[in-house]
Structure 1
Amino acid sequence: MRLEGKAAIVTGAGSGFGAGIARKFAAEGARVMVADINAEGAAAIAGEIGGLAHQADVADGTSVAAMAEAALAAFGRIDILVNNAGVTHLPALMEEVSEAEFDRVLAVNARSVYLTARNVVPQMKAQGGGAILNVASTAGVSPRPRLSWYNASKGWMITATEAMAVELAPFGIRVNALAPVAGETPLLASFMGEDTPEMRAKFLATIPIGRFSTPADMGNAACYLCSQEASMVTGTVLRVDGGRCI
């Protein structure tokens, strides 16, 4: 029960890595807001773990403000924020990615971190501390061809994590990031371009451990970074990648 008594918001928690993080947090005693743009997905995971479902568009300022207000109304405080919601563009030459795709990737992967900070950091400062976890990617550490703007958005997330950690440390707020390799999530097919046995084999060949990351892998890593066990850890990027970036 490492998170007993803590209140957490996990974005993009209606499926994939976010669902794994929400499940782990709940199992460790946290009260969890399962936030997702997919209301049905959020409701399903919240029902499974006894959490609070909330539909939110993390790229929209009004929606993020409403999410934070709802969490405060339900829990009275916000101890943990996990910025997990993310999107990618399909693999393509950098000059062939449309402006609309570029804008969407940056809005969901980068602007969301700014918006949640605006709405959650003041509360964490007022209560004397908290933990923020940004779910980046190995793409931000070791970029892959044909995913240039997704790579860049996750690199931005890593730099933002480090900048936030330095600024917020005096307020007792720790900020870290996870860098997972691709896993069994709804985004897998988008990363590979097509989900075929051949493409899976090709992708798996780049991961020394020989498997994709799982939602449970992410939940375990997130739980550590957001618990008191990591009280001296801030500004770090924990690679959960099976050796992909070595």
Structure 2
Amino acid sequence: MEFQDKVAWITGGANGIGAGVARRLAGLGAKVVVADVDAERGKAVADEVDGLFVTCDVSDPRHSEQAVAAAVEAFGGLDIAVLNAGIATGFGLGDDFDAERYRRVMGINLDGVVYGVHAALPALKARGGGHIVATASMAGLMAMPMDPVYGANKAAVVGLVRALGPTLAADGVAVNAVCPAFADTNIIAGFKTALESAGMPILTVDDVVDAYLSALRSGGAGQCWYVQAGRPSEPFKFPNPPGPRTASGERVALHDPSQEG
């Protein structure tokens, strides 16, 4: 797709990946709605790209609905939803577990994507279709022993995107995810030095933004684009799990009951 005059709503757009996507899309001619809880930085990014800033706590479904309504009112519709807002976890399930922080993390990293899709769909369908791209993580594609809760919510985003992809494609809405490894954003600020000392390459924001553009232009649905240093980004090829067999060991042939009779 090309982006001239397309309307894009970007959550977590005040800094990091979200701000990078906002700048890139605006540079390609899109009209951008920057949504974030950080009003000062969010307004700065919106002003920089001649866009609109809206305060948006993605853990509250009303905020996402209001942000989409603001996009429609300001620019006449919505073509792209970039559901990028996310925060670090920083605790496990042992003595350091904090139920209140757990709900906050899940509210932003998972519920924010669910509420964002729900809020964006009517506006996207009103345009005859559009694109949704969610920020997941390599932590959603592989085990994340150092932060199991973060891995859990990102794995949930991956599962959600894979399930929604074929369903919403029938309505002309392409849903995909981008799954970066460690990128130079606030999420890794507390352990960036440790990663570098261990020899782990750190992605630039531009590396991740490139993957967003690839996902938007791909025409695919339900894909999860991995982003790893030194490798071209592409959709992850999920292995097929074992399927059911009959009592005699034959493959089960599924059928569609709606086509019967």
- Shift of the alpha carbon at 1:49? 1.5
- Shift of the alpha carbon at 1:240? 0.9
Aligned residues: 231
Code of the aligned partner of 2:202: F
| TM-score after normalising by structure 1 | 0.88
- Shift of the alpha carbon at 1:146? 2.8
- Shift of the alpha carbon at 1:151? 0.3
CA distance in 2, matches of 1:30, 1:61: 25
Choose from 181, 200, 212 the match for 2:196: 200
Identity %: 33
Matched, 1:221 2:211: yes
Matched, 1:100 2:100: yes
Instruction: Give the match for residue 245 of structure 2.
Output: none
Instruction: Spell out the pairing of 1:170-189 with structure 2 (5 A cutoff).
Output: 170-189=170-189
Instruction: Give the match for residue 55 of structure 1.
Output: 55
Cα pair 2:7 2:31 within 8 Å, conserved: yes
Instruction: Give the match for residue 128 of structure 2.
Output: 128
CA distance in 2, matches of 1:199, 1:241: 14
Q: 1:235 to 1:45 in 2, by over 3 A?
A: same
Cα pair 1:22 1:219 within 8 Å, conserved: no
- Shift of the alpha carbon at 1:44? 1.0
Instruction: Give the match for residue 13 of structure 1.
Output: 13
Unaligned runs of 5+ in 2: 237-261
CA distance in 2, matches of 1:183, 1:224: 17
Residues 191-237 of structure 1: per-residue CA shift (max 9 Å, x gap): x2xx54x44322xx24xxxx31122112222122223xx12x11111
Cα pair 1:23 1:219 within 8 Å, conserved: no
Instruction: Give the match for residue 117 of structure 1.
Output: 117
Cα pair 2:133 2:212 within 8 Å, conserved: yes
CA distance in 2, matches of 1:217, 1:175: 20
Q: 1:226 to 1:199 in 2, by over 3 A?
A: closer
- Shift of the alpha carbon at 1:153? 0.2
State the 4+ residue runs in structure 1 displaced beyond 2 angstroms.
Answer: 92-97
CA distance in 2, matches of 1:152, 1:50: 36
- Shift of the alpha carbon at 1:159? 0.5
- Shift of the alpha carbon at 1:163? 1.2
Instruction: Give the match for residue 239 of structure 1.
Output: 226
Instruction: Select the structure that is richer in helix.
Output: 1
| TM-score after normalising by structure 2 | 0.83
Tell me the SS of whatever aligns to 1:94.
coil
CA distance in 2, matches of 1:34, 1:221: 19
Cα pair 2:68 2:123 within 8 Å, conserved: no
CA distance in 1, matches of 2:203, 2:226: 11
CA distance in 1, matches of 2:207, 2:105: 24
Which structure would you say has the larger Rg?
2
Instruction: Give the match for residue 80 of structure 2.
Output: 80
